[in-house]
Amino acid sequence: MRRGYLPIALILVVLAALPLVVTSNVILNFVVFVLIITLVAQGWNLLGGTGGQSSFGHAAFFGTGAYASAILQTRYGVNAWAAMAAGVIAGAVVGRVIGYLAFRAGLRGSYFALVTLAFAEVLRILANASGFTNGAAGLLLKLDVGFWNMQFSSRGAFLWLALAFVAAGLVICQMIANSRFGAQLVAVRENEEAARALGVDVLAVKLRAITVSGALTAAAGCLYLQYFLYIDANIAYGLWISVEALLAPMVGGRGLVLGPIIGAFTLHGLGEATKMFTGRVPGIDLAVYGAVLVLVIAFAPGGVLGLLHKLRRGGRAKGTGTGGEGA
């Protein structure tokens, strides 16, 4: 099996088996939500981790995908699957537009991050005020269980659907990591001027990255809509989803293909465990997220996966040194 795909396959098999052995709706709900967050984080990680273009406004893509799908279904009676495809395309287009405006202007670093945050906030205000999006009341999908409506009677079935999208995201990101495009992204992240001097079309590489990133994040927005059957401006374009998008890769391993899924399960697993032991104190999960992020930045800047790789290399080096002394 090609480099990088075996760990992906193992994780997917374990998660796919969950509905077969777990009957608790609480656990299945948790896994579905974390998978949706993972898909958002995969989109951020491609742009902000591999490409080094950190964004504070991935809510712009998440919300666009969700609203495009919701509007098509509620106002025009479009099939849920077709509406989702349109939502993904809409997210990619918004990503392309934001990227073109920002990157053509030469924005990078904190300037680019703030511009993405501004775009997300503008879209939130517009969605909250517009009658076309039903304003602050939001949009509610009709409950109509059926495959063509992307609504299922069991949470396990939706878990498999969400897992299929996460699997597609993992494969896409791994393919990019193994490709020339992935090498160009890393080159742009490490030294944009040097990459340009070597013949890399920096603008084109960034635009491709933010387009794919927007599509992945919009797909997560569509899944959120189909699972909860409701969306409003504060959910779709809220700061919470932009924070989730960047926290998971940073905790799991920024720029690593498996970083988002490891980070998402680590963060939300710790959050839920803390709620269980503290009696669900309001805001305790946010405190845990903050504490974990501080610890990761201070002691494991490469994230959980980076720390594991470092420990493994240290163990090998120690074993080699011991063997050399014995000889």
In tens, the pLDDT along 200-219 reads: 999 999 999 999 999 999 99
Q: Residue 92 falls within a domain, yes or no?
A: yes
CATH number at residue 89: 1.10.3470
Rg, C-alpha atoms of the chain: 20
Report pTM: 0.93
Q: What mean pLDDT value characterizes the chain?
A: 92
Instruction: Give 308's pLDDT tier (boundaries 50, 70, 90).
Output: confident
Task: Report if residue 202 sits inside a domain.
Answer: yes
pLDDT of residue 321: 61
Task: Please name every residue paired with 151 in a beta bridge, in sequence order, or none if there are none.
Answer: 146
* Residue 209 included in any domain: yes
Is residue 294 one of the residues assigned to a domain?
A: no
Residue 66 counted as domain residue: yes
More confident: 246 or 301: 246
Domain span at residue 198? Answer: 5-257
| Residue 17 falls inside a structural domain | yes
Q: What is the tens place of the pLDDT at every residue in 174-202?
A: 999 999 999 999 999 999 999 999 999 99
| Counted domains in the chain | 1
Does residue 93 sit within a domain?
yes
* 61 within a domain of the structure (yes/no): yes
